[in-house]
Structure formats: structure tokens, C-alpha cells
């Protein structure tokens, strides 16, 4: 039992009396729409009134955390001990944003800031093409979108997918002499990133750039691989193997963000995230926002049976928050064996999906309101807007509150009937139509309010979700820091790529009939 080497043995979750008590308490708890449940954490206001609760649930949740050795795991996480047991490494992203980080982190931060200062003072590179995927991409897209949505003096394009249209579109129309390519890959083995990087270098060379590597910066934990690829030492910013790919936003992967919207944005995000780290480390159980949010999510998943979680940022600038959180939540919690490799036996991470409001209201909110399943919703909104049209912001806030209220309160048949009759419908038609207008209500939600969107509040928000996910991983007993499923897909894709290119013979017997057919047909 590998986990036993460094972590206390945990009994199978579903066999513990604490789990049984927690689930029972969750099933018998209810939503109390008139009892406000407000939390303050690192400048964010969280309203959990839309979640079921009861004194018994709170008590059994605390007992469950204690049975799962939560305090010990949290200490391990925050002190950089090896916690990712299948890869035998720490997951120390909190160190990247610590106010007084270890020497190597501080030195790399300083190097990056100096690089940016020089590039900015020389007004060098009007364009940046950021090449990376997953954790080497979403966080940068999110922050550049959040703070550069109304324009930046440098134009930023992204290429992530291996689909050639992505890199073609990213490079189209740019002046190669005035374009910096930022290649971000922790492992420096990701096929998408390396292929897109090659295309970008070719593009520069074909346009007559004498030394295309002059217009390249690499961010990686594997500098030797980057050097073998052509990058020079001075062009490489480092991260470390203890930074999980989906947490690398806090590392020098933020280079593009800093070049696009400023080093102060990166620093502000660090400060907000560090404040949330402090809250997570020290706030008592009943006031600890990530812990309470995690427990509410587990009740929704395991006691109430919700298989998905909807993210509804009521903020156009946070469009990329949804995919960012999808990776964070689903790559982390999409596991069904525990630290010892045994089946978990209970449902784990929900599918995460969403879209910014109010677009989402006209896309899938009907399903949230009246489908047979429904899903818990995280509403995220800023109290103060960044624009100067108060009437827009009033309407946005009103829509956010209204959707939440409808999910929480619902509408009874009697209320619907009254409405139909009041609109002048005859009794029989009103009775029929009223049945279609009933909302079940009682559908769980969180409301997360940022005073306004700043680097600090966005940093705090992302750290809130990171810690929530961690707590859920500890309770479910899974490793939230590996992603073997994704790795398996990568290996299969590599083999099929070689079959399609003719680099290796087609292996019909090694595939199912359908895959073999399409390999034959696509491979010609
Ligand atoms: O999607 C799997 C994954 O390994 C992520 O965890 C990571 O963010 C992404 O691929 C990119 O990896 P890298 O930064 O090593 O290119």
C-alpha cells in the first residue's frame, strides 16, 4: 500500500460510520431560504443560503473531516510535502504565490519581471502568440480576457489544439518580426504544443526572420528538453515538478499575462490567492469558505445525487472561467480509485459545465429550472462593474439574483394558477397551463460576490476553487493531483498518428473494428 508510506491509512469511505452519518444528515437536511448563510473569505462574500443545512449535518461534516485526517492532509499540502502519491511529488502551488517564497521561486519571479520591464521599456513585440494547452493555456486565457477584454497595446493570440486551424488562425496577419512566441509546457513533451511551436518557428523563418529563436520564450520544468529543441538558456523560464500542470498559472506561465496586461496583475493575483490560502489554513471549520463549499458539493453529489455542477459567472470578462474550472475540477476529481488503488464505491467529482450569464439563461437555464434532473449552480458576480453603464450592471445583477431565486424558491401550482387566471385565461385553460409553469424550486446554488473584478479578487476566487477541490479529494480519498486517464489518451493518439503517417504499420488486430476501419480510411 503505497499511500501507507507517507499518509495514514484511511478506511474505505463507504464503510465508515462518519460517512453514513454524513449522508443521512445530508438527506434529511433542507434549504432554509430565510436563514442567511454568509461567509467572508479573502475579500469575497459567499452566500450558501441556497444549500441544504442542519445542525446535525454540520456536526457530522466535522466528524467526517476528522475521520479523513483532513488537518494532516491540509498541512502536507501547504508545507510542500509529497501529497501526489502516484507521481511521488508535492503539489505546492501555494508556494508560487507566497509573499515570501523559497529562493528559487523568488529568483525566477525577479528574472521574469526584469524581462518584462526591458521588453516594455523597449516597446518590443506588438504581438504575442501563446502556445500551450490545458493548464499551460486556460489560466492565461482567463486572465488576459479578464483584464485585457477592452484592448491591450500588445495583441495576444492563443494556439492550443493540435488542429492546424488553431495555429493558422493565431499567426494569420501578424508581423513575424514583431511577434513573440511564448511556448508553455511543463513537461515539454506535449504533442500539441511542440507541433504548434514548430509551425510558429517555421512561420518566422519563412518570413525572413534571421534567428526565429530570438522571438521565442519557453516556460517549462524540463529546460534540457527545451534546449535540445532549440531554445537558449536565457530564453527559458523554469517551473518545478512540484507544480501541477493545472496550477501552473501561478508560475512563469503567467509571462504572457504579464506582457499583455502587466506584471502588477500577476502580483495582484498572487496576493489574492495567498490571502485565500491563509484563510483556508487558519479559518475555523464553520467559517472556512473552501471547506464549507466542498462539503456542500459532497452533499449535492452523494446525498442528493446531483451528477453535475453548473458554473454561471455573471461577468462577460470571466468567459474562460468555465473551461478553467472544468480542468481544475474534472482533471482533479475525475477518479474512482482511492489512494491505495481500491474502488472508492461512492460517486466522486461531478461533471462541470456552464457559460456566462445572461447568455446562459437563453441557452440552457430552462433545463436547470424545470428538467427532471437539474444541477447545483455557482453564481459568480461582481458588485461593481468595470464599465460606465450602471443600467447594464443593474440588469445583470437583477438577472443573477432572479435566476437564483427561481431555483431556490420555485413556483407552486397554486401560484402558477393564480397568475394564469390573473392574465384572463378561462379556468380550464388556466389549470392546464399552470401545470407547465410550475418550478420545483429547492435547487441548490452558491452565490459568490467579488466587490469588483481585480487581480486580487480573481486570485482569491481561483484559490477558493482549488482548495474546495482539494478538500473534496481528501474526503473521497482520491489523488486530486494526477491525471492518468489523459496520459493514456495521449499514448493511444501517438500510436495512431504513427499508423496514419506510415511511420509504423497499421495494426488492425490491435484496434476495435471501427477504429481499424477509420485508421485504414484516413491513412490511405
Ligand atoms: O491535460 C493533461 C495535462 O497533462 C494537463 O495536466 C496539463 O495542464 C496539460 O496536459 C499540458 O501539459 P504541459 O504543460 O506539460 O504541456
Closest Cα to atom 8 of ligand 1: 135
Q: Ligand 1 centroid to 193 CA: how many Å?
A: 10
Q: Ligand 1 centroid to 110 CA: how many Å?
A: 25
pLDDT per position as a tens digit, 233-248:
999 999 999 999 999 9
Dist CA 290 CA 48 (whole Å): 12
C-alpha pair distances (Å), 339 with each of 8, 21, 203, 328: 11, 23, 46, 19
Q: Are 91 and 83 in contact (CB under 8 A)?
A: yes
**Beta partners for residue 448, in sequence order:** 46, 380
Mode of pairing for the β-strands spanning 445-452 and 44-47: antiparallel
pLDDT per position as a tens digit, 286-325:
999 999 999 999 999 999 999 999 999 999 999 999 999 9
Dist CA 471 CA 348 (whole Å): 12
| Atom of ligand 1 minimally distant from the CA of 221 | 15
134-143, 204-213, 481-490, 511-520: least confidently modelled range: 481-490
| Atom of ligand 1 minimally distant from the CA of 136 | 14
Q: Nearest CA to 23 among 233, 288, 300?
A: 300
Instruction: List % helix, strand, coil for the chain (3-state, nearest 5).
Output: 55, 15, 30
Just list the catalytic residues: 331, 362, 490
CB of 357 closer than 6 angstroms to any ligand 1 atom = no
pLDDT per position as a tens digit, 31-69:
999 999 999 999 999 999 999 999 999 999 999 999 999
Mean pLDDT, residues 162-189: 97
CB of 191 closer than 6 angstroms to any ligand 1 atom = no
Percentage of residues in the chain having pLDDT higher than 70? 98
Q: Give the pTM.
A: 0.96
CB of 263 closer than 6 angstroms to any ligand 1 atom = no
Dist CA 387 CA 357 (whole Å): 17
pLDDT at 7: 60
Amino acid at each position: 500500500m503505497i499511500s501507507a508510506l507517507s499518509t495514514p491509512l484511511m478506511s474505505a469511505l463507504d464503510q465508515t460510520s462518519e460517512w453514513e452519518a454524513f449522508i443521512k444528515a445530508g438527506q434529511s437536511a433542507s434549504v432554509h431560504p430565510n436563514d442567511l448563510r454568509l461567509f467572508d473569505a479573502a475579500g469575497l462574500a459567499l452566500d450558501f443560503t441556497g444549500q441544504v443545512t442542519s445542525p446535525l449535518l454540520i456536526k457530522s461534516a466535522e466528524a467526517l473531516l476528522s475521520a479523513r485526517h483532513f488537518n494532516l492532509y491540509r498541512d502536507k499540502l501547504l508545507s510542500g510535502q509529497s501529497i501526489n502519491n502516484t507521481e511521488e511529488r508535492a503539489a505546492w502551488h501555494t508556494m508560487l504565490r507566497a509573499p515570501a517564497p523559497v529562493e528559487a521561486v523568488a529568483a525566477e519571479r525577479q528574472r521574469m519581471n526584469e524581462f518584462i520591464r526591458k521588453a516594455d521599456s523597449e516597446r518590443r513585440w506588438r504581438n504575442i502568440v501563446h502556445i500551450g494547452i490545458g493548464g499551460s493555456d486556460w489560466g492565461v486565457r482567463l486572465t488576459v480576457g479578464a483584464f485585457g477584454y477592452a484592448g491591450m497595446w500588445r495583441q495576444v493570440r492563443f494556439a492550443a489544439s493540435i488542429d492546424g486551424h488553431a495555429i493558422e488562425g493565431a499567426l494569420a496577419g501578424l508581423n513575424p518580426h514583431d511577434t513573440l512566441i511564448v511556448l508553455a509546457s511543463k513537461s515539454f513533451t506535449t504533442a500539441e504544443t511542440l507541433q504548434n511551436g514548430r509551425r510558429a518557428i517555421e512561420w518566422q523563418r519563412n518570413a525572413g526572420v534571421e534567428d526565429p529563436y530570438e522571438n521565442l520564450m519557453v516556460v517549462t520544468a524540463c529546460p534540457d528538453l527545451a534546449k535540445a529543441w532549440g531554445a537558449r538558456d536565457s530564453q527559458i523560464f523554469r517551473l518545478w515538478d512540484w507544480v501541477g500542470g493545472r496550477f501552473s498559472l501561478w508560475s512563469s506561465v503567467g509571462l504572457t499575462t504579464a506582457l499583455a496586461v502587466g506584471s502588477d496583475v500577476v502580483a495582484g493575483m498572487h496576493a489574492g490567492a495567498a490571502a485565500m490560502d491563509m484563510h483556508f489554513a487558519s479559518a475555523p471549520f464553520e467559517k472556512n469558505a473552501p471547506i464549507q463549499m466542498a462539503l456542500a458539493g459532497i452533499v449535492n453529489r452523494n446525498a442528493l445525487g446531483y451528477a453535475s455542477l453548473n458554473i454561471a459567472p455573471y461577468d462577460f470578462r470571466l468567459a474562460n472561467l468555465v473551461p478553467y474550472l472544468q480542468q481544475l475540477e474534472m482533471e482533479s476529481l475525475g477518479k474512482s480509485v482511492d489512494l491505495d488503488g481500491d474502488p472508492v464505491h461512492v460517486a466522486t467529482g461531478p461533471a462541470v459545465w456552464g457559460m456566462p450569464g445572461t447568455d446562459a439563461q437563453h441557452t440552457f437555464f430552462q433545463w436547470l429550472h424545470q428538467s427532471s434532473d437539474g444541477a447545483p449552480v455557482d453564481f459568480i458576480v461582481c458588485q461593481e462593474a468595470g464599465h460606465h453603464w450602471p443600467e447594464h450592471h443593474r440588469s445583470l445583477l437583477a438577472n443573477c439574483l432572479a435566476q437564483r431565486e427561481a431555483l431556490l424558491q420555485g413556483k407552486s401550482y397554486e401560484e402558477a394558477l393564480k397568475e394564469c387566471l390573473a392574465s384572463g385565461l378561462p379556468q380550464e385553460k388556466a389549470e392546464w397551463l399552470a401545470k407547465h409553469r410550475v418550478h420545483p424550486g429547492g435547487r441548490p446554488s452558491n452565490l459568490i460576490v467579488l466587490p469588483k473584478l481585480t487581480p486580487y479578487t480573481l486570485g482569491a476566487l481561483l484559490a477558493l476553487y482549488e482548495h474546495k477541490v482539494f478538500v473534496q479529494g481528501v474526503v473521497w480519498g482520491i489523488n486530486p493531483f494526477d491525471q492518468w486517464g489523459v496520459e493514456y489518451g495521449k499514448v493511444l493518439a501517438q500510436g495512431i498518428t504513427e499508423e496514419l503517417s506510415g511511420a509504423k504499420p497499421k495494426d488492425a488486430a490491435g484496434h476495435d473494428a471501427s477504429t481499424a476501419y477509420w485508421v485504414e480510411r484516413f491513412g490511405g
